[in-house]
């Protein structure tokens, strides 16, 4: 009984992982969406405008609000929020489940390699069941709003894309999204878990500040490591859609190798903030829900 009790001490109930991840994902997506919007707009710009592409998201946000109003800045937001709730719910559930299978039964910690591997598997699962279709709709809505205005809502965009390209049309950019999600989740959740385990060994108290800083560090490393995948994914999921190969070649044609890093500074600002918010909210919700479901 003693070993089981020790293991149970480090386990988070599955329903708590899922609900906490989903709530954290929804909160994070809502707060940081304007930065995501600005990044997507920049990544969809072609070579002709390359010299005028801003590195700071604030001019993009300011221009959109001035020209089209505040609501335009949240075009595609509902798709991202719904997707983030599903994606992060699945991602944390999967990560915590894998973590429990491989953690040290006496300390509840993982080796760095197993932390990253657990995150990568979580990324593949969340991309397949949530991220790719919702990211496709979000990106298509943002791109469409800049050019054709064909889509009236996320649901209408789903219908149009399905009628034109079938079910697979909703999975445009699946390879790029999955590569990004796998690498990003592996690095982000792996780094966060490594930092948390290190602090646990050093008896450093977990607090809102500690959680936020750990998340921001994980977000920074994630952005720098996975930006090319994100750029390919965005091009593939534009309003008209493109294959991963077509997206890759169009980026090379527009900006060469440097084109794969377009929007890095904007994504960096968002991922630092979003990762800090995500893990902080997740940890707080876990502490609230865990006693209820024990």
pLDDT digits (tens, 9 = 90+) for 195-220: 998 998 889 999 999 999 999 999 99
Domain ranges, ordered by start, for the chain: 2-293
pLDDT digits (tens, 9 = 90+) for 71-87: 877 877 887 788 889 88
Mean pLDDT of 252-264: 80
Instruction: Report the distance separating Cα 247 and Cα 110, nearest Å.
Output: 37
Q: How many CB atoms lie within 10 A of CB 48?
A: 8
Instruction: Look up the pTM and report it.
Output: 0.74
Q: What is the pLDDT of residue 28?
A: 93
Q: Are 119 and 187 in contact (CB under 8 A)?
A: yes
Statement: residue 7 has pLDDT above 70: no
The model's confidence at residue 8, banded by pLDDT at 50, 70 and 90, is low
Q: Are 239 and 174 in contact (CB under 8 A)?
A: no
Closest by Cα among 228, 267, 266, 223 to 247: 228
Computed on alpha carbons and rounded to an integer, the radius of gyration of the chain in Å comes to 19
Helical spans, DSSP H, in 103-173: 112-126, 132-146, 154-165
Measure CA 261 to chain center: 17
Q: Which CATH superfamily is domain 2-293 in?
A: Mitochondrial carrier domain (1.50.40.10)
- Residue 168 DSSP code: G
For residues 145 and 82, the model is more confident at: 82
- Residue 67 DSSP code: H
pLDDT digits (tens, 9 = 90+) for 23-72: 999 999 999 888 877 777 776 765 445 555 566 677 878 888 888 888 87
Closest by Cα among 88, 116, 111, 86 to 221: 116
Statement: residue 287 has pLDDT above 80: yes
Q: Are 44 and 143 in contact (CB under 8 A)?
A: yes
Statement: residue 284 has pLDDT above 80: yes
Instruction: Report the distance separating Cα 233 and Cα 244, nearest Å.
Output: 7
Q: Which two tokens stand for residue 250?
A: 């169009």
């Amino acid at each position: 009984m003693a070993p089981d009790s020790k293991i149970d001490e480090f386990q988070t109930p599955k329903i708590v992982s899922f609900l906490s991840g989903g709530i954290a994902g929804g909160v994070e997506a809502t707060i940081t969406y304007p930065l995501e919007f600005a990044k997507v707009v920049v990544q969809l710009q072609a070579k002709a405008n390359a010299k005028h592409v801003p590195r700071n998201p604030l001019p993009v946000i300011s221009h959109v609000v001035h020209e089209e109003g505040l609501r335009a800045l949240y075009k595609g937001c509902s798709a991202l929020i719904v997707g983030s709730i599903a994606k992060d719910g699945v991602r944390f559930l999967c990560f915590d489940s894998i973590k429990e299978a491989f953690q040290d039964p006496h300390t509840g910690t993982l080796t760095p390699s197993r932390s990253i591997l657990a995150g990568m598997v979580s990324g593949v699962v969340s991309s397949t069941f949530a991220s790719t279709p919702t990211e496709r709709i979000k990106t298509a809505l943002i791109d469409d709003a800049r050019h054709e205005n064909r889509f009236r809502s996320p649901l209408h965009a789903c219908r149009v894309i399905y009628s034109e390209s079938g079910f697979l049309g909703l999975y445009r950019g699946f390879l790029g999204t999955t590569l990004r999600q796998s690498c990003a989740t592996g690095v982000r959740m792996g780094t966060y878990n490594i930092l948390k385990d290190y602090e646990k060994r050093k008896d450093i108290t977990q607090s809102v500040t500690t959680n936020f800083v750990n998340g921001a560090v994980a977000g920074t490393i994630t952005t720098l490591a996975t930006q090319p995948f994100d750029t390919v994914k965005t091009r593939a999921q534009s309003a008209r859609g493109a294959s991963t190969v077509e997206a890759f070649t169009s980026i090379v044609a527009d900006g060469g190798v440097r084109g794969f890093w377009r929007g890095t500074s904007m994504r960096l600002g968002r991922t630092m903030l979003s990762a800090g918010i995500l893990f902080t909210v997740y940890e707080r919700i876990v502490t609230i829900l865990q006693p209820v479901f024990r």
